[in-house]
Structure 1
């Protein structure tokens, strides 16, 4: 069964922004998040051993042949990545044997109303869920911007959408968005400092400013 990558609208600094699922997959591929203190939705400790191989064929899980340690148990298999836990059944993965090797379901957002997020494979095995949002270095819009800048060749729909949004806003609205973005960046900076400390955080920021964000 073939599934095209999804698209989700998320609140951005200048209005709603469409984020493609490939942005999430690239975050996982580059391990561009805090990898310490990861836990499943049920509170089990996660250690990432091997991220897996990015599956670009649109068939089967997002990453194949990964290795994760959950509560001390090494699990070898695949990783599936979505925006929301409900997408597992919406895309009928629970009926697809291609997903019978999935050992971890990675989602950006949690289910609403505190609903449990464990999903089931076709072989009736439960798949634990990891919420990634609390562990991100940046907001989703910033990840999308970075990916857009890395793909400057051709027409960039993300940049086009941003320009269209800005052109329809008043100066006061733009100033409010600028202030909101600055507060958001401060919040992420404080969070990053609390997780990494001044030495590591400042070293990585310095490399990012020089354009070495992916090789810090």
Structure 2
């Protein structure tokens, strides 16, 4: 048994509340269980409890055993001075405040029905993938949909943290932050971190100034990626190399050294040369991109805004000096969908949050237009009865798996709580 189960029992009063007595046989009446804040200090704040004839207002601490009070050194922590009741599964010792006043103890195991214990055991018994996999299909759609909305915005809150950090670093330049985030996502999983470092290494003021010269933008990005360091018999390569050296001198930039960008195991359309050229083309075609992103109202408008491709040279190349069949390497809709999910929606959410505006419904409408993502996690959920029809649902399920299932937080999960109630 874990403490989170005791938190659940206390929080939702899932025990016999009519005949409660402390370890000293005093009657206990619960008027308010308190606030479950999950912060440092006691587990529940501002509870209201009557013990014997005395009404108390204060905090409640929960442990598996009374002796855990001393194991955790609460007797030395002033944060626990206002604990009015110690709720435990098993009472094995008396506990005292610093002033040697005994703290009342409620031994909960005497008041919990066997069914609740059986349900808990069923929920947390290890399965092949997640604890509740065999019961997922029994959950009411209404519960799942409501929980998915909460999960979606939890995920956005998490994604907004690095955006807020970038804002501090760029003096609240939203255009610069968007450029950096786009660079990371253009690099996908393999080159994302390197592209992110490259974008941060180039002051965005330079990107602004050079955005009217496509080859200058390409030179800056490809050169910073270490792709212009050799000598080649390729005129376009030599042109970019000359421009890069000139721009480095012009802006007094240091040639940053990053780990090499990766070509291996990538489809040619995802080669770093192609993605960096497409990113350069985007900023050549669309200056003030954040201002335009901030006005989008449908996925169609996003596709229109990101309707760009690699420059002319790359229509017959994937790497320098190696001719390939002619192909216009434009950003595909699935790729733009990833950009919307991982860059556009998070930055719109962060911007609205900074402005005190509410755009939740707009973001849900936008992501509902995007096809569901395909990966092993989504396929597993589908196999166990939770099927997705759009990216809103898949993003929610990724949050569920990573932040709840993987961390065994079943009793903080709406699905876990519903299973305990229904069973």
Q: TM-score range by the shorter chain?
A: 0.5 to 0.7
The Cα offsets for residues 149-181 of structure 1, whole Å up to 9 and x where unpaired, read as: 4999424677xxxxxxxxxxxxxxxxxxxxxxx
Contact 2:91 2:105 in 1 (8 A): no
1:81 aligns with 2:56: no
Q: Tell me how far apart the structure 1 counterparts of residues 84 and 122 of structure 2 sit (CA, whole Å).
A: 30
**Structure 2 counterpart of 1:31:** 13
TM-score (norm 1): 0.57
Question: Which structure shows the higher strand fraction?
Answer: 1
Matched, 1:136 2:112: yes
The structure whose Rg is larger is 2
| 1:79–1:104 contact (8 Å) kept in structure 2 | yes
Shift of 1:142: 2.5
How far, CA to CA, are the matches of 2:49 and 2:31 in structure 1?
5
The alpha carbon displacement at 1:40 in A equals 0.5
The answer to whether the aligner puts 1:121 opposite 2:97 as a matched pair is: yes
1:62-106 Cα distance to aligned partner (Å, 9 max, x none): 101001101121011000100111100111001100000000001
What is the Cα deviation at residue 144 of structure 1? Answer: 4.9
CA contact (8 A) 1:29 1:54 kept: yes
The structure showing larger relative contact order (alpha-carbon pairs under 8 Å, at least 6 residues apart) is: 1
Cα distance, 1:134 vs. partner? 1.1
Aligned-residue Cα RMSD (Å) equals 2.8
Distance 2:17 2:53 in 1: 16
Match of 1:43 among 10, 20, 25: 25
Give the unaligned 5+ runs of structure 2: 125-130, 137-146, 148-380, 382-399, 409-417
| Equivalenced residues, count | 140
Contact kept in structure 1, 2:119 and 2:420, CA below 8 Å: no
Gaps of 5+ in 1: 1-18, 112-116, 159-210
Q: Does 1:22 align with 2:4?
A: yes
* Matches of 1:140 and 1:130, distance apart in 2: 18
Q: Say whether the 8 Å CA contact 1:82–1:108 is kept in structure 2.
A: yes
The answer as to whether partners of 1:55 and 1:61 remain within 8 angstroms in 2 is no
Q: CA deviation at 1:26?
A: 1.0
